[in-house]
Every structure is written in structure tokens, then in C-alpha cells.
Amino acid sequence: MTLFLLGLLLFAVVVLIALFVRAGEEEDKEKPHEDEQQRASSMRPLLLGINYLLADAPDRALRAFIEAARMHGDAAEIYMALGEMFRARGEYMRAVRIHQNLLARPDLDEEQRFRAAWALAQDFHKGGFFDRALRQYERVLQMRPDYAPAVEACLRIREDAGEWDEALKLLDRWQRITNEDASRHRAYLLAQKAWEALGRDAHERAQALAQEALKVDASCALARLVRLRLLLAGREKASLATSLQDWRAHAPQTLAVALAELARTGEEEIRQEVRNWLGACVKNNEAQEDWVLAWLEHEPPADARRDAKAWGFRPKSLRGWLRLLAATREDEDGAFARRWRAQAPDWRCSECGVEVREVRWRCPQCHAWGTMRPLEEEACAQG
Ligand SMILES: [Zn+2]
């Protein structure tokens, strides 16, 4: 049994005993002459259950606890604690059974019923039963229409499934409830639709959606990427320099994505244009290491060397130097730097700090949109 699991079990045991004792005391106040023997007998299945838990026999433990809860008048809290514990252990079906049992009890008050319904929805969600989770979250929202965490949970399920229209509706609802600014989130959902339209070669639709996304939030990098691809396909009239200029003005943190895209897919004429644009930036001393390095890394080493030299580019950080070495040197130092480069993450979520190699529009850990930023020097020192 892992330490984590053991900790959980101990926590559960403490909670159960505390609840039982508290419930017992309340009972005592009402009935001061309660038969001690009866109390002791109602403790027995509880202790048995704890024993089973510690012996890693959760099914038997569950039966014992249900028995304990049945014998005890005020058992809802025991059920709740048990359900939470099983969900935390990843035993979702057991958690579901407990919460369903609880919801079937006629003696629950309104607050307990709400908590059990919310817990059951989370069991389904965590267990991967997304349709059932959605239905259960809907029931929670019937009880409390302004319960933002339930709307948020539905939104996450729709986003995971790529159901952007449903997600947009839920985001509107969430915004109405919380009154918080959701423009960046909204822009990214629209941009996802644009991205899919682009994948279907529905260029006009993609253009319109990307435009709409940028109107909502000009820093939406995914919408800018859609427009850049349309430009490369000859479907957008803006010039490349204007497009890059705009990107740098509104979303400088992700300009490296644009440059990598252009270096990878652009024809020679386009590449020359970017090279000139970047050269001008470096000379104006406005360049950020990431943009230039993203470009150099996609050049053949000889070209990257030539560009770096022509621009007088000197990285300011150790991380930058290693990336430059990896991109331009063919000797042993270059090979060392390339080995480092092959596994070093490049992006970090500004919300939760998770580090990833490729940029993600939605953080894989905290699910926030548009929060990835290029990793900077201090992260390199730590890593
Ligand atoms: Zn995050």
C-alpha cells in the first residue's frame, strides 16, 4: 500500500470516528439514558469497516460502512466522507454507489441532497462517464442554477470533446453568473472553430471566425495562426510584414510560434521576407531571443550561422546560448546542446506553472486558455 493511500485511509478513519462520536454526543443530549450496549453494537460495523480498509479489502469495508450508516440515524456525513475517499482513490464506481445510495434516502435535507448530487456528478466525470456526468451536472444546476463550478465542469467536458458551440454557450452562462471577464477564453473557442474550418478547407469561414476571435481578444495566438496559414495559402490580402507586425504588437509572447511556422512551411520568397523583417528587428534592438531562436532553429545550420552573424545576434541567457549552439554548431558542443534541446521544455503556463515542450493553446494541467509563455532564464537555472 502506498504512503499516499495509507494517508488517505488514516484521514478517512479520523473523519469517520469524529463524525461518529459527534453524532453520538448529539444523540446523548436528546436521549441521556441511551442504552450503552446499543451504541457499542452500532460501533462494531464501523470498526470492522476500518479494519477491512486497512487490510486493503475495500469491498468488504464498503459493506461494513453501509451497514454502520444504516444502523446510525444521522449517517449522511459518513456516506459523504466515504464517497469522497473512494473518489480520491480512483475507485469511481464505489463512489457512485455510495452517492446514489445517499440520494435514495428520503430523510436528506436540501443541503445534503445538493452536496450528494454534486459529488455524484464529480464521480461520473472523474470516472470518464462524460454523458452521465453532464446529465448529473444538469441536475445540480436545476437545484442551483447559478452554481458556477457545475457550469465550469460542463464547459470542460465540452471542450475536451471539441464541442465548441456547446462550450461557447456554457461560457456565456458562466460569464453571466460570475460577471468575470471571459474574453480571452471566448476568443480561443472561436479560434478553435476557425482552426477546424481551416482543416476542412472552408477558408472563408475560417477567416471570418478568426476575425471574430481577434475582435474579442487581439492577443489570441491561435486566431493569428489561422490567419497566417490563410496568408500562406494566398487567401489573405494583408502583407506578411504587416501580419508579423500585428502579431508582435498584440501577442509578442507567442510570436515564436509564427516564426517557426514560417520557417517550416514558407517558400523561399516568404522566408527571405521574414529574414529581412527579423534582421531589421534585431538591429533595432527590439528582438526577443525567442523569436530569433525559433527562426534560427528551423534553418539549416549554415544559414542559421549566417543569419545570426549578419544580425549580430548574441543571446542574453544561458538557455539562449545553448539553443544557438544547438542550431548552428556541428561539432561536439553542438551535439551536446542538441541532446539538451531534444528534451528541454520551451513553454510554461503562467497560471499553474506546468512546463511543456510544444506550445498548447489550452493548458493540459489547469485548462486555462492562452496562458503559455516562453520559458525564461530562471527556469533554465532550476532545471
Ligand atoms: Zn496551467
- The rounded distance, in Å, linking the Cα atoms of 289 and 375 is 11
Q: Which of 76, 117, 122 is nearest to 100 (CA)?
A: 117
**Which three three-digit cell numbers place residue 77?**
456525513
**DSSP secondary structure letter of residue 57:** -
pLDDT of residue 238: 66
Going from the Cα of 63 to the center of ligand 1, the distance in angstroms, rounded, reads: 40
Task: Give 190 Cα–ligand 1 centroid separation in angstroms.
Answer: 20
- 68 C-alpha to center of ligand 1: Å? 42
Look at residue 80 in the predicted model and tell me its pLDDT: 85
Judge whether 86 and 58 are in contact, CB under 8 Å.
Answer: yes
Residues 6 or more apart whose CB falls under 8 angstroms from that of 11 comprise: 85
Residue type at 213 in one-letter notation: A
- Centre of ligand 1 to C-alpha 376, Å, is 16
Taking the centre of ligand 1 as the mean of its atom positions, its distance from the CA of residue 125, in whole angstroms, is 20
- Mean pLDDT per 10-residue interval, the chain, length 383 residues: 52 57 52 57 74 78 72 71 87 91 86 94 96 97 96 97 97 96 97 97 96 97 95 78 91 91 85 88 74 89 89 87 91 91 91 93 95 73 45
Distance from the CA of 377 to the center of ligand 1, in angstroms? 19
Instruction: Using the mean position of ligand 1's atoms as its centre, give its distance from the Cα of residue 362 in Å.
Output: 8
How many angstroms is it from 383 CA to the middle of ligand 1? 18
Say which CATH topology domain 3-128 has: 1.25.40
Residue 345 Cα to ligand 1 midpoint, Å, equals 14
Q: Kindly give, in sequence order, each residue whose CB lies less than 8 Å from that of residue 298, ignoring residues fewer than 6 positions away.
A: 259, 260, 263, 264
Distance 96 CA to ligand 1 centre (A): 29
Residues, CB within 5 angstroms of ligand 1 (ion):
349, 351-352, 363, 365-366
- For the record, the C-alpha cell of 224 comes out as 493569428
What is the distance in A from the centroid of ligand 1 to the CA of 369? 8
**What does the domain layout of the chain look like in residue ranges?**
3-128, 241-344, 345-383
pLDDT score, position 152:
96
Q: What pLDDT does 350 receive?
A: 93
Give residue 324 CA to ligand 1 midpoint distance, Å: 28
| Pairing state between β 355-356 and 372-374 | unpaired
* H or E element in which residue 223 lies: helix 221-232
Q: In this structure, how many other beta carbons lie within 10 angstroms of the beta carbon of residue 278?
A: 22
How many whole angstroms from 180 Cα to the centroid of ligand 1? 18
Q: What is the pLDDT of residue 312?
A: 87
Neighbours of 263 (CB within 10 A): 20
* pLDDT for the residue 106: 84
Q: How far is the CA of 364 from the centre of ligand 1 (A)?
A: 7
The three cell numbers of residue 98 are 455510495
pLDDT of residue 92: 93
CA of 365 to the centre of ligand 1 (A): 5
In the numeric block, the cell 442504552 is attached to 35
Centre of ligand 1 to C-alpha 375, Å, is: 14
Q: What is the distance in A from the centroid of ligand 1 to the CA of 355?
A: 9
C-alpha 372 to ligand 1 mean position (Å)? 8
* Ligand 1 centroid to residue 344 C-alpha, Å: 18
Continuous segment of H or E residues that includes residue 90: none
